[in-house]
Structure 1
Amino acid sequence: MWTEEAGATAEAQESGIRNKSSSSSQIPVVGVVTEDDEAQDVFKPMDLNRVIKLLEETDKDGLEEKQLKFVKKLVQCYQNGLPLRDLAQIFKILNLCSGKIKNQPRFIESAYDIIKLCGLPFLKKKVSDEITYAEDTANSIALLGDLMKIPSSELRIQICYQQASSSYKIQMAEVGGLAKTMVQSMTLLENQLVEKLWVLKVLQHLSTSEVNCTIMMKAQAASGICTHLNDPDPSGQLLFRSSEILWNLLEKSSKEEVIQQLSNLECLLALKEVFKNLFMRGFSHYDRQLRNDILVITTIIAQNPEAPMIECGFTKDLILFATFNEVKSQNLLVKGLKLSNSYEDFELKKLLFNVIVILCKDLPTVQLLIDGKVILALFTYVKKPEKQKIIDWSAAQHEELQLHAIATLSSVAPLLIEEYMSCQGNARVLAFLEWCESEDPFFSHGNSFHGTGGRGNKFAQMRYSLRLLRAVVYLEDETVNKDLCEKGTIQQMIGIFKNIISKPNEKEEAIVLEIQSDILLILSGLCENHIQRKEIFGTEGVDIVLHVMKTDPRKLQSGLGYNVLLFSTLDSIWCCILGCYPSEDYFLEKEGIFLLLDLLALNQKKFCNLILGIMVEFCDNPKTAAHVNAWQGKKDQTAASLLIKLWRKEEKELGVKRDKNGKIIDFENLPGLSAEDFVTLCIIHRYLDFKIQATHKQRELANKSWEDFLARTSNAKTLKKAKSLQEKAIEASRYHKRPQNAIFHQTHIKGLNTTVPSGGVVTVESTPARLVGGPLVDTDIALKKLPIRGGALQRVKAVKIVDAPKKSIPT
């Protein structure tokens, strides 16, 4: 964010203070003194201990003159730079001089001259001196921060001036904690602008280091600097240097902690006033650039839901600034204002769209977005390009703003759905999609983040419009979805999909796959639980689903988005085909079950659950079994073999153990169970055994009595044997490890009288109700959701199928 203009201003102010040429900043960090250098008297010896002893003396006649004379001699001796080996003693002398200033003001000049020497490179005689004297150097530099307490403007400026150089000094400043003392010194300079600017310059240089930024952040530098952004400053340096420091703190220290420091009313009011002033009265390139920087900092703070953006009025102003060009306003803040097509104003417009997305995450902002007519403002961009525009943006700029506006609508519209509908949002989006699909000549620049993959085509516009439509559909607002269906959205989506697959585009394959995925998700959202809409989806819809399912499986590993497209496709089978008999039959006729089993055979866990759920639902259709039995995979694998293989894999992943005979040996080997827990577990185990047996019996004899069935069956002997086996199983389940106080009831099953434990009334006094929640619940509801007759699935028209959950689709 440093600009030549700002730099020139800063350097001009510095020139009145400097006594040395600026070329000193080009000198290396540490100068190396050789034997030849010593021969040239670069390293002049001096008894520093004698100077220290002299400065420590008091109450002698003529002592001050003598002390000043020796300090002056010291400065002359080290005019080529301070040796690292002597640094500790020299700074002790400096500290003694500074301690005398209050009663002997003449020592200001001595301290000033010594500090001035710090602007020169530190000298070393040996290569190892930097390491050997590192601690002395760090402590010495840290002392400079303490000297800021001396109430001398000249001395403070000289201290700050010395810090504008070398990386070695910044490294030593990190060790010595200079950044902390410099931040603390800001409180001493409330009304002293020149000194404050110099301190800010020091902090600006120090904040290039992550270590220093962390030190500054802990010293509350962010809030301390931010609250003074509006202090009077004709030079403009205060705002520039402060914003630069805030940037560095956000980038190089804990972003969360810095945001927390800035998330208070005082800081946000300061930022608000700065931004308003720059927005309304900033006309130079530098002002506009600084304005945008302040807005970015504000956007980062706005991500914190605890920041009082609404309370300080900043949210309302930002919404106004974001929409005043599109929605006419009589507010005095924007009256007569106009954005140009300059780069800075163009960036500002995009930043304002972006901050709206951030602000809308805070629900109390919704009413302000309504009042500001944000939806209407954003929809001014959702139309084909026109020659007449509110602002004379270039074609590339307008396209980028258009895409940015549609992306913003995807976040805002679901929160303001009534506003969206009042603006005829569905009609606008569908009309825009129609233009996206048309042959209307349009040269897309595709040169922005949102325009990725859209150069020379309308894919970017279609991509973001479909995202918007998907966000609206998945609100599951029936008024919105009904309106979409009445406007022919299902047919339009299928048409767009068919048009896309008829014109393969390998260059923009990833964008095309995303578009296809979103179309299928939109169709799923519209058709789910609506038979009439599934009928509209019809065979044309089934065809596009089958087209995707025939994709080469190797492409699933390409990383382009085929996985997401497959998820969307499976979702559309669930929502758009299942439950609509003609579509189901057409899907079967076109070998859709074969394609599902082919996908299942890929053995990709992320797809298995969803595919199996779909298969279960399809088995309600009596025509499905033949297709399942007819399928053959690699090496003549059958569907039954495939399912068994999947079961074994699942067992392995769950860690299920079996004995040598294949019996599961750890169902009940569960850790951490008490005696009461084991009793309850036994009840559950036997209860489930009974339910399995009883349910099988009930389903088998649901329509005919057992006696009638036997009389009409040629294989009566076999069935009698089956009946006997079932009775034994029930009895075994009833008596095996039976709790002594379990209550049993006489139960009549059609055609069969036997004594079985009743699921509705089984209680065990030894098992406290707090452990089982009272009597065990009846499982009939669960059975109704998945009706079984001899292993084949049957339709149940009266009960909505809800037990197989839809797979979450990645976005």
Structure 2
Amino acid sequence: MDLNRVIKLLEETDKADLEEKQLKAVKILVQNYQNGFPLRDLVQIFKILNLCAGKIGHQPHFIESAYSILKLCGLPFLKKKVSDEITYAEDTANSIALLGDLMKVPSSELRIQICKCIVDFYHAEPPKKHIPGYQQASSSYKIQMAEVGGLAKTMVQSLTLLDNQLVEKLWVLKALQHLSTSEVNCTLMMQAQAASSICAHLNDPDPSGQLLFRSSEILWNLLEKSPKEEIIRQLSNLECLLALKEIFKHLFMRGFSHYDRQLRNDILVITTIIAQNPEAPMIECGFTRDLILFATFNEVKSQNPLVKGLKLSNSYEDFELKKLLFNIIVILCKDLPTVQLLIDGKVVLALFTYVKKPEKHKIIEWSAAQYEELQLHAIATLSSVAPLLIEEYMLCQGNARILAFLEWCESEDSFFSHGNSFHGTGGRGNKFAHMRYTLRLLRAMVYLQDETVNNDLCEKRTIQQLIGIFKNTISKSNDKEEAIVLEIQSDILLILSGLCEHNIPRKEIFGTEGVDVILHVLKTDPKKFQSGLGYIVLLFSTLDSIWCCILGCYPSEDYFLEKEGIFLLLDLLALNQKKFCNLILGIMVEFCDNPKTTVHVNSWRGKKDQTAASLLIKLWRKEEKELGVKRDKHGKIIDTKKPLFTSFQEEQNIMPLPADCPTVAVMDVAENIRAKIYAVLGKLDFENLPGLSAEDFVTLCIIHRYLDFKVSTF
């Protein structure tokens, strides 16, 4: 068909019976291309479409012509050669981009057909019959060309033209729902501010319910397939959050179908993602207050009309909702102005209703497995919330509840946990998961170093209880629960460290029983430190507890020495593991203040009869080698002006520092182990050290003069 003749005819304006001829020409064109448009003709076809669309304002009969051409655009394009897809790629992309521009034509029928045409890109139909010399373009070709042409962006912009036309808006959203399945289109939609323009109208009247469904689907795709931070920024405004708040409240209070509950949960997840942005006005729009109310109304009775007579079922969707509400509380509490709302909503009291032994024969809305999962989730949530609300925590007798729950955790109660959730990992058939999260909560409270909390804990014999729990975990653990038991043991030691630090009476309570626990860990087979199960973490917690629970309490120090604790520390030091050498040497420095320590240090023998002094000197040489200190092959000083200077210090440029900032020379003391080795050997008097070689004596001379050398580097 001569398309140029059709174009020329449509461009004419001053002939009699012109409209009838033009309509007839287009009708013949449509009949001629019933099986689809060839790629090589697309530029002319879309020019004809554009001319028809331009006439609609004054000549309404052209609506049908444009509609017919658009309907054929939904069919797969045709190619003569395999290379046509590449040859006509630019023309095809530009032609498809015109579909978005045609949304400006004020014709509902035409706009809907444009959307149908775009949806057809994703549901390609085969040609009605085979045309000799032609074959169908690949099914994804139109989709790719729509991305290249930027169709998604213009379709988003067309939403502003459809404020009061619900049917057309729903079709545009359906088209965008399909387009938003690709990252390229999502990025284009993001540039057109799609997230905010769609979210702001979530609550618009729509009897069909399609608007909310399609809009939420598009928002999900945007969050998953385009830069998340930018989408969150677009959604973090009062208009969007008010729309989300109203639709969530409506679905929460009046959504009874399976579909409504799923949609409600999706809206809550989107809200949770937005709430991670501290700039989002969650409090200002009243959403935070409502979410806190919805999260706690089951546990704390409220007279608020929003929840009057409301009850959650044990359906999967309501169960997921409850967990999502716990989760968003953790997000919201990171914004400090939320604290007062948490107090008003009695969140701590609500969460503490789960910190108790499961009650038998009590009719509750959740199944046993669901209740267990919610219980663990609530305790995990308390770990974030309770440290912000110490007064509320104490009013709820938080310490007493936690300790009573811990007592149940290690009891011989015939409870069998399901262990089938994220929080229940490793706790199937036992109560280790409950113990793990309860100890995390206790650790979070102890780490606040609030004397009211810690004194109350110690008065309730927490130190003795925790030591007893540690001992029980040693006897009850097996290979299946090894990782979770190690985490429990690490947390117990960290809690004990937090309670005993700087407090001699509490260190005395820790006493010999506590020292026995530490010695048990120090005797761990060194091979296990490479297992990845958590033995290294446990070792660090143990070393920390030596600092906080033993050092400074002479009876405990003496007992530790009697039980060959120093030998065990030196055995660990001899492993030459850089990650804990610094900490062990720090402990050694403090222990050497005890006059009984020297005998133990000098008595220790390692592999090949190595002495402690030889080990320390060897560690010094290794440290200097790693730091790039200049020494000759016999260990003697090469640069007498800079005897301790490292290659790293030499490479550093001279930088001006404020007066209160420590110099590089001072920082060097904290960052490497030489100062600690010097301190330990100094407390051994640098004399009569057994088991040293000639090279060791050379190095010992340098160590002996360390402080003098250090002073000279200032």
Category of TM-score, reference length = shorter chain: 0.7 to 0.9
Say if 2:621 and 2:699, in contact at 8 Å, map to a contact too.
no
Offset of residue 658 of structure 1: 3.4
CA contact (8 A) 1:326 1:390 kept: no
How far is 1:166 from its partner? 5.3
Q: What is the Cα deviation at residue 135 of structure 1?
A: 1.4
1:125 shift after superposition:
2.3
1:685 to partner: Cα distance = 17
SS, match of residue 559 in structure 1 = coil
1:254-298 deviations in Å (ceiling 9; x for gaps): 111110111111111111001011111111111111001000100
Q: Cα 1:423–1:140, aligned 2, differ >3 Å: closer, same or farther?
A: same
Matched with 1:151 is: 106
Change beyond 3 A, Cα 1:625–1:676 = closer
Post-superposition Cα deviations, 1:163-192, rounded to whole Å, max 9, x if no partner, equal 999533221111000010000000000000
Relative distance call for 1:240 and 1:588 in structure 2 (3 A) is: same
Equivalent of 1:598 in 553, 566, 571: 571
**Which residue of the partner structure matches residue 92 of structure 2?**
137
Q: 1:678 to 1:546 in 2, by over 3 A?
A: closer
2:696 corresponding residue in structure 1 = 677
- Scaled by the length of structure 1, the TM-score of the pair is 0.75
Task: Report which stretch shifted further, 468-477 or 643-652.
Answer: 643-652
> Is the 2:611–2:690 Cα contact (8 Å) retained in structure 1?
no
Residue 560 to residue 662, structure 1, CA distance change in 2 (3 Å): closer
Asked if structure 1 preserves the Cα contact closer than 8 Å seen for 2:614 and 2:691, the reply is no
1:559-586 Cα shifts (integer Å, max 9, x gaps): 1111111110100111111111111111
1:189/1:195 contact within 8 Å kept: yes
Deviates more, 1:630-639 or 1:570-579: 630-639
Range moving further from structure 2, 277-286 or 125-134: 125-134
**Judging changes above 3 Å, is the alpha-carbon distance between structure 1 residues 334 and 427 closer, same or farther for their aligned structure 2 residues?**
same
The alpha carbon displacement at 1:304 in A equals 0.6
Helix, strand or coil for the counterpart of 1:165? coil
Distance 1:378 1:545, change over 3 A: same
Pairwise CA distance, 1:672:
44
Measure the CA separation in 2 of the matches of 1:279 and 1:473.
38
Relative to structure 1, is the Cα distance of residues 379 and 69 closer, same or farther in structure 2, using a 3 angstrom cutoff? Answer: same
Deviation at 1:645, TM superposition (A): 2.0
Instruction: Label 1:268 to 1:691 Cα distance change in 2 as closer, same or farther (>3 A).
Output: closer
Q: Which residue of 2 aligns with 1:466?
A: 439
Query: What SS class does the counterpart of residue 584 from structure 2 fall into?
Result: helix
TM-superposed CA distance for 1:333, in Å, is 0.5
Q: Aligned pair in 2 of structure 1 residues 245, 457: CA closer, same or farther (>3 Å)?
A: same
Task: Give the TM-score taking structure 2 as reference length.
Answer: 0.85
Counterparts in 2 of 1:267 and 1:377: CA distance versus 1, 3 Å: same
Compute the displacement of 1:318 (Å).
0.4
Give the 3 Å change call, closer, same or farther, for CA 271–357 of structure 1 in structure 2.
same
- Greater Rg by CA: 1
Question: Which stretch of the first structure deviates more once superposed, 198-207 or 626-635?
Answer: 626-635
1:239-258 per-position Cα deviation (integer Å, ceiling 9, x unaligned): 01001111110111111111
**Conserved in 2, the CA contact under 8 Å of 1:163 and 1:202?**
no
> More displaced, 669-678 or 406-415?
669-678
Counterpart contact for 2:80–2:135, Cα < 8 Å:
no
Q: 2 CA distance for matches of 1:672 and 1:639?
A: 9
Q: How far, CA to CA, are the matches of 1:251 and 1:672 in structure 2?
A: 65
Offset of 1:73 from its aligned partner? 0.9
* 1:649 positional shift: 2.2
Deviation at 1:334, TM superposition (A): 0.5
Identity of aligned residues (%): 91
**CA shift for structure 1 position 389:** 5.3
**Residues 530, 680 of structure 1: alpha-carbon distance in 2 compared, 3 angstrom cutoff:** closer
Q: 1:144/1:677 Cα in 2 relative to 1: closer, same or farther (>3 Å)?
A: farther
Contact preservation (8 Å) 2:274, 2:280: yes
Go from structure 1 to structure 2 and tell me whether the alpha carbon gap of 1:447 and 1:206 turns closer, same or farther (over 3 Å shift): same
Closer/same/farther in 2, CA of residues 674 and 576 from structure 1, 3 Å limit: closer
**C-alpha displacement of 1:470:** 0.5
Contact preservation (8 Å) 2:159, 2:172? yes
2:453 alignment partner, SS class: helix
> How far apart are 1:674 and its partner, in Å?
43
* CA displacement, residues 112-131 of structure 1 (integer Å, 9 cap, x when unaligned): 11110011111222222222
- SS of the aligned residue for 2:283 comes to coil
CA RMSD of aligned residues (A): 5.9
2:78 match: secondary structure: strand
Contact 1:325 1:390 in 2 (8 A): no
Q: Distance in 2 between matches of 1:500 and 1:350?
A: 30
Q: Is the CA contact (8 Å cut-off) linking 2:613 and 2:689 kept in structure 1? A: no
Per-residue CA distance 1:510-550 (angstroms, 9 max, x = gap): 11110000000011011111111111111111111111111
Secondary structure in structure 2 of the residue aligned to 1:451:
coil
Of the structure 1 ranges 650-659 and 147-156, higher mean CA displacement relative to structure 2 is found in 650-659
Structure 2 stretches lacking a partner, 5+ long: 114-133, 639-684
Moved more, 573-582 or 58-67: 58-67
Deviation of 1:638 (Å): 1.9
Q: Structure 2 vs 1, CA of residues 222 and 164 (structure 1 numbering), >3 Å: closer, same or farther?
A: farther
Q: For structure 1, list consecutive stretches of 5 or more residues without a partner in the other structure.
A: 1-45, 693-811
For structure 1, which segment, 649-658 or 206-215, has the greater mean C-alpha deviation from structure 2 after superposition?
649-658
Asked if structure 2 preserves the Cα contact closer than 8 Å seen for 1:249 and 1:258, the reply is yes
**SS in structure 2 opposite 1:594?**
helix
CA distance in structure 2 between the aligned counterparts of 1:162 and 1:480, rounded to whole angstroms: 78
Residue 679 to residue 556, structure 1, CA distance change in 2 (3 Å): closer
Quote the Cα distance in structure 2 between the aligned partners of 1:546 and 1:535.
17
Q: How many residues align?
A: 645
Whether the 8 Å CA contact 1:340–1:391 is kept in 2: the answer is no
User: Alpha-carbon deviation of 1:82?
Assistant: 1.4
What is the CA-CA distance between 1:661 and the residue it aligns to?
A: 7.3
Distance, in Å, in 1 between the alignment partners of 2:692 and 2:491 is 49
| 1:664-703 Cα deviation digits (max 9, x unpaired) | 55999999999999999999999974997xxxxxxxxxxx
Q: Which residue of 2 aligns with 1:648?
A: 621
Relative to structure 1, the CA distance from residue 574 to residue 686 in structure 2 (aligned partners, 3 Å threshold; closer, same or farther) is: closer
CA contact (8 A) 1:341 1:393 kept: yes
CA separation of 1:466 and 1:671: change in aligned 2, threshold 3 A: closer
Which digits, 9 at most, give the CA deviation of each residue in 1:610-664, with x for residues without a partner? Answer: 1110010011111111111122222222212221222222222222223577555
Q: After superposition, give the CA deviation of every residue in 1:100-142 in whole Å (9 maximum; x if it has no partner).
A: 2222221111111111001111122222222222212111111
1:123 is aligned to 78
CA contact (8 A) 2:314 2:367 kept: yes
Q: Which runs of 4+ in 1 moved over 3 A?
A: 161-167, 387-391, 658-692
Residue in 2 that maps onto 1:690: 709
Task: Give yes or no for contact 2:613–2:691 (8 Å, CA) kept in 1.
Answer: no
1:227/1:267 contact within 8 Å kept: yes
Report the Cα distance in structure 1 between the residues aligned to 2:5 and 2:182, rounded to whole angstroms: 38
